[in-house]
Structure 1
Amino acid sequence: MIKGKPTILKTLYTYFLGITTGELMPELAENKYSHSEQFGKNAKKIKELYIQYRGKIKLTENITLKEIYYEIIGQRKNSITVEEKNEEIEFTNIWTKVAGIKNNIHGEFLYQIIPRAVLTREKQIDRGIRGIDPQCKYCNRQFETFQHLFIDCKELKMFRTYVIQNGQSEDPNFEISKKLLLLVDIKTELIPIIYGYTHTVWACRHFEDTLNLYKLQMKYHKDKEIYRKYNKNKN
């Protein structure tokens, strides 16, 4: 469990070897491993989750740290809907726009992008799927959340810049942001670019071979043009 590059499970292991293990494992509390300095946000996240749900976790003699992790994740409340998070946005027009996409495959994918419903590794773990490596496959450092994958991942920064520059040829204010991926007040001619970008990032995370900027660009243009081909006179 603790071999290889740091994962959120290794972070949990390190956290339990830290000072806060005093409550559960006093014999390990003397270990002064500086986990919070080495693992940053992941360690903080695990600590906050543990403190929030520790009263609901049943500790048995043979329970493993991995099982404790899944107990913590299993206690998390269901997230609120995208409409509830963005009450100031009128979603009727957004859903109507997506419903007008001619090709069902493209429309269904964007239907998942808008409410952040694509099955990221974070969501797979939240749903109790075991054996999931939670790390982003692009950077191998951060937890793969929707926000990280499509907006924040540093390994995709050059690709995002390329797509932004491409989009700015249609709209000088084009930027990849949370609002953009909700398709808020978006020009119809920009939807192929958004589809091309999000589908490329999503699909290429499954590739086993080494990815570089050129391969991402080629995949992006292919997806964008396929979208345009099958959605003529619509989007």
Structure 2
Amino acid sequence: MLTFIGLGLYDEKDISVKGLECIKSADSVFLEGYTSRLMGADINKLEEYYGKKITFLGRADVEQHPENILKAAEEGNAVFLTGGDPMVSTTHADLRIRAKERGIKTGIIHAASIQNAVCGLSGLQNYRFGKSCSVPYPEKGWFPTTPLDTITHNIENDLHTLVFLDIKPDRHMTVGEGVSLIEQMAEKKGMKTPEIFVGIARAGSPEPVVIAGDAGKLKAADFGEPLHIIVVPAKLHLMEKEYLEIFAGL
């Protein structure tokens, strides 16, 4: 049996009761740390709270070499832990497909994800979001501009855009860095920079930071510790605008 369990947004206590009970009864516990991270708890804190030894997995361990996970699921009850909701990432869907092909029974225990958290923190209506995109750190000879294409297409269709920011083993992209890269994309393509950004830091923590405004305002703002994420709104509904004014300083 392989059960995919979402851990929620911030620390070890965000997990559901159902998820915690499943972990405690598991024979093997795996945690992937490349799509998202719980910034309020390290692996030692998770092991102490869950009462289980946890095997940490990188991207290659899941996407290229998942044999250890699948073998554990064939031999007993294995759980696969992820920050947020477990099936948001396509790599997790691929792992479930592989398990099914080997005759392994699977299950999912859902949890809060950044997709629903940003709606509550920003007041932007969830049914008005279009396709999301990710802003990666540029590399030598590689500076992608497709995120701006996604943002522009959504705005043309009066849809908001959730913009994920790159996570590396040694650094986490900030709101300011993300906004600056979007500005550079606009300059490179001869397009306008979006008029309004919403930056959010540490969703799910006791003191998240939410700031709305133009590019200059967000680049100058101090969002504090990671994780950060950006929303680029389309035309604001009256209530969305009021919410951002009250709770995000628009």
- Is the structural similarity TM-score above 0.5? no
Structure with greater strand share of residues: 2
TM-score bin (small chain): under 0.3
TM (norm. structure 2) is 0.25
Structure with greater helix share of residues: 1
- For CA contacts below 8 A with separation 6 or more, give which structure has more relative contact order: 2
